[in-house]
Structure 1
């Protein structure tokens, strides 16, 4: 069983691997957070901490929110 991604894991992937954290709305009204390149699932609490870190920027596109490292935005 794979370990859950931490805030540090996600921030590292955003900064050094140029990955993105993607929020996709699903039918039951809850969002699903995933890493764009690997497809790894990210817990809501981790995604919220990443978004609050100040090092990232968010982009909205047709209901999907994409979080990237601020320099890449």
Structure 2
């Protein structure tokens, strides 16, 4: 993944490089059936955790997109 190494060395990127494939900790790639792509990524430090529509525990205020999801659920 040379391109990722270059981008992470040159720019401020989110989520942390070690968390790019964080979802695979919870979902095995071989069993994957659906991918949900968000409208835009979380872009502030310590927000993007590598999971779609998810932030690190304790991030306040709750982001608007997450408020909408919680309201619908």
More strand by share: 1
More helix by share: 2
Does TM, normalized by the shorter one, top 0.5?
no
TM-score (norm. length: structure 1): 0.23
Higher relative contact order (CA 8 A, sep 6+): 1
> Larger Cα Rg: Structure 1 or Structure 2?
2
